[in-house]
Amino acid sequence: MSDLRAELTEILDEAEWEWLIPHVQRDAVILVALELEFGGCWSSDRQ
């Protein structure tokens, strides 16, 4: 799991809202708080 953490740390970046607009319009954006620790995965069906 430490390899995953290192990989995500390397590839994640802040985005401009203009870049996200098309994705927000189709409900395909995930926002993550900086305070969160990676503890596993979960999924939720939004309906």
The answer to whether residue 10 sits within a structural domain is yes
User: Which domain covers residue 30, as residue numbers?
Assistant: 1-34
pLDDT band at 42 (very low <50, low <70, confident <90, very high): low
pLDDT of residue 4: 83
The answer to whether residue 46 sits within a structural domain is no
The answer to whether residue 29 sits within a structural domain is yes
Distance CA 4, CA 24 (A): 26
User: How far, CA to CA in Å, does 34 sit from each of 9, 22, 26?
Assistant: 12, 23, 24
More confident call, 41 vs 32: 32
